[in-house]
Amino acid sequence: MKPDVVVVTGAGRGIGRSVCIEIAKNEVPLLCISKSESVYDTVKEAGKYTKAESIQADIVNFDKTTEEIKKWLMNNTYKRIGVVLAASVLGDKFEVENFNAREWSGVMNVNLTGNFNVLGALLPRMLENKYGRIVAFSGGGSAYAYPIFSAYSASKTAVVRTVENFAEVLKDKGDFAIAALAPGAVETDMLKKVRSFGAEVKTTVNISEPTNFVKEFIFADKCNFSGSFVHVRDEWPKLLNSENQLSGKDMFKLRRIEK
């Protein structure tokens, strides 16, 4: 059963924009959130296929974003909500001699806290209707050290554990599924910045791959890997809308290896 509406952060560009257009082509209404004016271009394109609305707001401004989402909820009666937390910033290249905790805080406030604040504003409606499909974006440095962009790595690792925690608390609340997606190295403005700082990019992924993951996950009737950290090229399709189970309790998880 498809959601009645899908809310997407980072909707003005990159994967967020691509997801919006794909969801729209499947005739599901959208709420597109971005701090950039380019969100209006996304809405214009998505509006060719479905109802599309926008909130132009910096999700780091928690109070304003929450207020805008509450206004939107008051004006709409959607019950089944899908959420795609795609807003992300890379931050500066990490130089240990010039460690800047304030810069780290800025990265965390977008990639982790801002995104999940959006989810938090939507949760009362989702819990009331006992339904939710949620995709958050993890990525480079979540499963291994990524010192060149340490703030980004730390924030994305935190996303993984936050997704796992949400999965645990939501599993008895209704028909909920949540995942942290590692989308691979997609040719976006962020990847250009990564290269400009000298980071090595071995393999790139077409933007259609993470876009398709989001569509399939958000539209899935059943998911057998909720709470997991999934790479876009893992064998996740076998675990959607099927009876197939994860091969072990620690599959697609961040875990210590114990003897």
Q: What is the pLDDT of residue 196?
A: 64
In a domain, 163, yes or no: yes
Q: What is the pLDDT of residue 56?
A: 97
Please answer whether residues 31 and 9 qualify as being in contact, where contact means their C-beta atoms are separated by less than 8 angstroms: no
Q: Beta partners for 204? A: 185
The CATH number assigned to the domain holding 140 equals 3.40.50.720
Q: Which two tokens stand for residue 135?
A: 């995709």
In a domain, 259, yes or no: no
Q: What is the pLDDT of residue 190?
A: 67
- Output the CA torsion sign for 239, 178, 75, 65: negative
In a domain, 253, yes or no: no
DSSP 240: B
Helix, strand or coil for residue 52?
strand
- Give the Cβ contact number of residue 66 at 10 Å: 17
How many whole angstroms separate alpha carbon 233 and alpha carbon 212?
11
Strands, E assignment, the chain: 5-9, 30-34, 52-56, 81-85, 131-137, 175-182, 185-186, 204-205, 228-231
Q: What is the pLDDT of residue 258?
A: 79
Query: What parts of the chain have a pLDDT lower than 70?
Result: 185-203
Q: How many CA atoms lie less than 13 Å away from 121 in the CB half-sphere?
A: 24
In a domain, 154, yes or no: yes
Element (H, E) at 127: helix 115-129
End-to-end alpha-carbon separation of the chain, Å? 43
Please state the domain count of the chain: 1
Full-model pTM: 0.93
In a domain, 23, yes or no: yes
Q: What is the pLDDT of residue 99?
A: 84
Q: What is the pLDDT of residue 91?
A: 81
In a domain, 177, yes or no: yes
**Domain enclosing residue 177, as ranges:** 5-239
In a domain, 49, yes or no: yes
Q: Which of 183, 222, 173 is nearest to 205 (CA)?
A: 183
In a domain, 251, yes or no: no
